[in-house]
Amino acid sequence: MAHPRSIQPSLSRTFRRWLAPAGRRLLGTLVRVATTEPVVALTFDDGPHPLYTPHLLDLLERYHARATFFLLGQHAVGQRDLVARMATTGHAIGNHTFTHIRMPQTPRWQRWRELWLARRALAPFASALFRPPYGGQSYGSRVDALLFGYEVVGWSYHIEDWVAQPPDRLAERLLAQMQPGSIVLLHDRLVNPRDPAAVARTPLLTALAQVLAQVGTRYRFVTVPELIRAGTPVRVPWFRPAL
Q: Judge contact between 170 and 207, C-beta under 8 A.
A: yes
Bridge partners of residue 74, in order along the sequence: none
Closer CB to Zn ion, 45 or 161, in the complex: 45
Q: Smallest Cα–Cα separation from 23: which of 241, 214, 236?
A: 236
**Shortest spacing between CB 161 and Zn ion, in angstroms:** 11
Closer CB to Zn ion, 39 or 189, in the complex: 189
Q: Smallest Cα–Cα separation from 184: which of 155, 207, 205?
A: 155
Residue 46 lies near Zn ion (rule: CB under 5 A): yes
Dihedral of CA atoms 102, 176, 41, 79 in degrees, nearest 10, equals: 60
**Shortest spacing between CB 31 and Zn ion, in angstroms:** 17
**Window 87-106: contact mask with Zn ion (x via CB under 5 A):** --------------------
| Identified catalytic residue from 45, 144, 161, 188 | 45
Determine whether 187 is an active site residue: yes
Residue 233 lies near Zn ion (rule: CB under 5 A): no
Residue 161 lies near Zn ion (rule: CB under 5 A): no
C-alpha radius of gyration, the chain, whole number = 19
| Identified catalytic residue from 96, 144, 187, 188 | 187
Residue 45 lies near Zn ion (rule: CB under 5 A): yes
H runs (alpha helix) in 102-158: 108-122, 139-147
Distances from the Cα of 158 to the Cαs of 9, 31, 163, 169, 207, in angstroms?
Answer: 40, 12, 11, 13, 14
**Shortest spacing between CB 133 and Zn ion, in angstroms:** 4
Q: Judge contact between 61 and 89, C-beta under 8 A.
A: yes
CB atoms under 10 Å from CB of 14, counted, come to: 11
Closer CB to Zn ion, 45 or 151, in the complex: 45
Determine whether 75 is an active site residue: no
E strands along the chain, which residues?
29-34, 39-45, 67-71, 92-95, 129-130, 151-152, 157-158, 183-187, 220-221, 232-236
Closer CB to Zn ion, 185 or 207, in the complex: 185
Closer CB to Zn ion, 162 or 221, in the complex: 162
**Window 109-148: contact mask with Zn ion (x via CB under 5 A):** ------------------------x---------------
Report how many residues bind Zn ion under the rule CB under 5 A.
3
**Contacts to Zn ion by CB under 5 A:** 45-46, 133
Active site members? 45, 187
